[in-house]
Amino acid sequence: MKYIEPTRVKILMMMFFATGTIGIVIGLSPIAGPAHTMMITLMGVINIGLGAFFTFVLLTQSQKNPDKRKKKKTG
């Protein structure tokens, strides 16, 4: 997998966790109609899962090594 900058991954994590939490709260509350309750809750759970995936990516990706081809030769 391609290296992703940690700030981007953190923003994606926060976005997915926030929308997932809001989706679950709205889906389980009486705000949503009875026909859409299950679908909104399911989408919230999917967003929480995506947030967990990006957390995994953030914790397991290796550091980006500098490109050795661009290094100046001192000699």
> What per-residue confidence (pLDDT) applies to 31?
85
> What per-residue confidence (pLDDT) applies to 70?
67
d(CA 69, CA 28): 55
* Residue 18 maps to a domain: yes
* Residue 31 maps to a domain: yes
* Residue 70 maps to a domain: no
**What band does 73 get if pLDDT is binned at 50, 70 and 90?**
low
d(CA 27, CA 34): 9
* Count: domains in the chain: 1
For residue 36, what are the domain limits?
6-59
* Residue 68 maps to a domain: no
* Residue 1 maps to a domain: no
* Residue 26 maps to a domain: yes
**What global pTM score does this model have?**
0.78
- What is the tens place of the pLDDT at every residue in 16-60? 999 999 999 999 988 888 888 999 999 999 999 999 999 999 999
